[in-house]
Amino acid sequence: MPLLATHVGSLPRPQEVVDFLFAREQGEPFDPAAFDACMARAVDRNVQRQKEAGIDIVSDGEASKISYATYVKDRYTGFGGDSPRNAPADLKLFPTFLDRLAKEGGTPKYARPQCVGPVASKGQGELHKDIANLKTAMAAHGVGRGFMNAASPGVISLFLQNAHYATREEYLYALADAMRDEYRTILDAGLDLL
């Protein structure tokens, strides 16, 4: 039995993708049809490059997601505001460097909201687009197996702090209940889930 190769995580995004993601993130106007076409092209490119690199189980490279954990704020209710950032511990030892890094744009400029209300799905429309883009690209490049990343309740709870539920455990269960449909939709589409 051969050993199959895959990977996990975001793949580098072309500037056009970055521009669309940050326009959406910052509430700036953009053409939704152009956004969708851009994401389809980016996923096609990602799948092509993965195949060329010998990857057996490909992904969409998380092209349409602003972040591997905080994208849920766009697809689920209950999130709002922005959470304070905690600098990495090793950078706290060098405050001058940390300040310079922040001033030079070395820190993300996307919102990291908190959970401020009940978590519930807004529907799976964006996920269905992601799945369609991946499956179309897989078919175009003759790739038989793919996977899609979906944030786990634990990861979400670390990045999107709880300011609503009475306990962390209650928050985790609410996230698990809300994310169940996303996980099921990915699996029902014939993709692996990571």
Q: What is the pLDDT of residues 125-134, one digit of tens each?
A: 999 999 999 9
DSSP per-residue string spanning 136-184: HHHHHTT--EEEE----HHHHHHHS-BSSSSSHHHHHHHHHHHHHHHHH
d(CA 191, CA 194): 10
Q: Where are the domains of the chain?
A: 15-84+112-193
Q: How far apart are CA 174 and CA 153, in angstroms?
A: 9
Residue 99 predicted with pLDDT over 80: no
Please report, rounded to a whole number, the percentage of residues in the chain having pLDDT higher than 70. Answer: 90
CA 70 to chain centre: 7
Residue 27 φ/ψ, nearest 5 degrees: 70, 20
Q: Give exposure, 25-36, as e/b (b: 16+ Cβ within 10 Å).
A: beeeeeeeeebe
pLDDT tens digits for range 58-67: 999 999 999 9
Tell me: pLDDT of 1 over 90: no
Q: Which pLDDT score is estimated for 108? A: 54
State mean pLDDT over 154-173.
96
Q: For 48-98, what is each residue's pLDDT tens digit? A: 999 999 999 999 999 999 998 889 999 999 999 887 666 667 767 777 776
Nearest CA to 193 out of 18, 59, 32 is that of 59
More reliable by pLDDT, 96 or 106: 96
Give the mean model confidence (pLDDT) for residues 36-56.
98
**Interval 135-140 mean pLDDT:** 99
Q: Which residues contact 166 (CB under 8 A, 6 or more apart)?
A: none
d(Cα 137, Cα 133) in Å, to the nearest integer?
Answer: 6
Q: Tell me yes or no: is domain 15-84+112-193 CATH 1.10.1040.10.
A: no
Q: Which two three-digit tokens encode residue 74?
A: 């766009």
pTM over 0.85: yes
